[in-house]
Amino acid sequence: MSDGWGTDSTPDWTALAERNEREQARRKRLRTIGTAAAAALAVGGITVTAVVLGGGGARGGGSAERLAQDPASSPAVAEQPSSSAAAPTASDSAAPSGPASASASAATSAKPRAGASATPSAPAAPTTLDPLTAISSAATDTAPLDPGSLFPAATLSIGGRTWTRLTDAATATCWQATTGGLGDVLAAQNCRTLLRVTYTNGSSAVTIGVAVLDGKAQADAASAAHQGQVQGLVKAGSTAWCITAGCANTHAAIGRYGYYTVSGTVKPGGNTADPVATAAGPGFADYARTRLLARGSGH
């Protein structure tokens, strides 16, 4: 090929023109290739941007975005945060993915929110005292108390016999309705009042006495120190009976009460023994105990 110079060292204008055309064609090809490559890169950048903005199909978007930003990193490395990684954004916290994140989300949901009130519980049922506890203190034993309401029965069947109520009374000064030292025992325990009721069967008579105290401790102490008896009760103007020590009697305590019986006869004779009344005494004591417990049951 001629280098564009003739043998006579004069320019070969034809050869130079051909050479120039070839150079122009080569440059044109290079420009075309460069434009195509730039267009390809531009299209690729648009595609990556669209994937990032579109979320890359929601779950896979995070890894695709990291790969686009750092093509040299592998998927495994991109998913492992390093100590120098930036703190997660608000959207990362709001939409955790993967089993560990799901567990953390469930635990967070189960935990009560700060400031939120706990689920209100059902109101506690009112406390109901058992009858014995209820009558063991003046603070819980508040039902009306008098001989008529405590012993309302007009007649009682005890020992196979029918007994009829003769009379009743309430004595505020307890010792005045006792004999044989019982008054001193009750006074030491601050006896509030002594209730009495008498039932008769023919000439046989039994009087029930109930000493009202402030609490169980006082009633137990009076029972432990017992002596003497309650006095037999009759209607005003009738012949007195068992007003001195010596008649058959019983004594016991329940709750804040001491309860007693005295058995005898309403015939003249004072402390004359009466077998029928004596046999009925324990039955009347059981009746008194039942009525006192009934106060604690609300009956």
Torsion, CA 42, CA 48, CA 53, CA 57, rounded to 10:
150
At 15-34, the pLDDT tens digits run 666 777 777 777 777 676 66
Q: Would you say the C-alpha torsion 36, 37, 41, 47 has a positive or negative sign?
A: positive
Instruction: Please determine, for residue 159, whether its predicted confidence score (pLDDT) is greater than 50.
Output: yes
Instruction: Please determine, for residue 299, whether its predicted confidence score (pLDDT) is greater than 80.
Output: no
Q: Is 121 within the bounds of a domain? A: no
What is the spatial distance between Cα 25 and Cα 16, in angstroms, rounded to a whole number? 14
Same domain, residue pair 74 and 147: no
Judged by average pLDDT, the poorest of 217-221, 227-231, 295-299 is 295-299
Of 80, 96, 117, the residue that ends a domain is 80
Instruction: Please determine, for residue 171, whether its predicted confidence score (pLDDT) is greater than 50.
Output: yes
Average pLDDT, stretch 165-180? 96
Tell how strand 193-201 and strand 161-171 pair up.
antiparallel
Same domain, residue pair 286 and 217: yes
At 262-291, the pLDDT tens digits run 999 998 877 888 999 999 999 999 999 999
Same domain, residue pair 26 and 165: no
| Structure confidence at residue 121 (pLDDT) | 57
Same domain, residue pair 181 and 47: no
Instruction: Please determine, for residue 6, whether its predicted confidence score (pLDDT) is greater than 70.
Output: no
Same domain, residue pair 63 and 139: no
Of 80, 106, 121, the residue that ends a domain is 80
Q: Is 113 within the bounds of a domain? A: no
Which helix (H) or strand (E) covers residue 171, if one does? strand 161-171
Q: Is 99 within the bounds of a domain? A: no
Q: Is 95 within the bounds of a domain? A: no
- Hey, which residues does 169 pair with through a beta bridge? 196
Of 239 and 37, more confident: 239
> Taking the model in full, what pTM does it have?
0.59
What percent of the chain clears pLDDT 70, i.e. is strictly above it? 61
Same domain, residue pair 170 and 35: no
- Mean pLDDT of all residues in the chain? 76
Neighbours of 160 (CB within 10 A): 7
What total of structural domains would you count in the chain? 2
Of 132 and 33, more confident: 132
Judged by average pLDDT, the poorest of 98-102, 230-234, 236-240, 265-269 is 98-102
Of 65, 80, 95, the residue that ends a domain is 80
| Structure confidence at residue 39 (pLDDT) | 55
Same domain, residue pair 203 and 60: no
Judged by average pLDDT, the poorest of 1-10, 61-70, 274-283 is 61-70
Q: Is 146 within the bounds of a domain? A: yes
Q: Is 268 within the bounds of a domain? A: yes
Q: Is 123 within the bounds of a domain? A: no
| Structure confidence at residue 18 (pLDDT) | 72
What is the spatial distance between Cα 118 and Cα 116, in angstroms, rounded to a whole number? 7
- Containing domain of residue 192, as a range? 133-296
Task: Identify the three-state secondary structure at position 172.
Answer: coil
Judged by average pLDDT, the poorest of 33-47, 80-94, 180-194, 202-216 is 80-94
| Structure confidence at residue 21 (pLDDT) | 74
| Structure confidence at residue 90 (pLDDT) | 38
What is the spatial distance between Cα 150 and Cα 170, in angstroms, rounded to a whole number? 11
Residue whose tokens read 């490395």 = 77
Of 100 and 174, more confident: 174
Same domain, residue pair 50 and 168: no
Same domain, residue pair 278 and 153: yes
Q: Is 50 within the bounds of a domain? A: yes
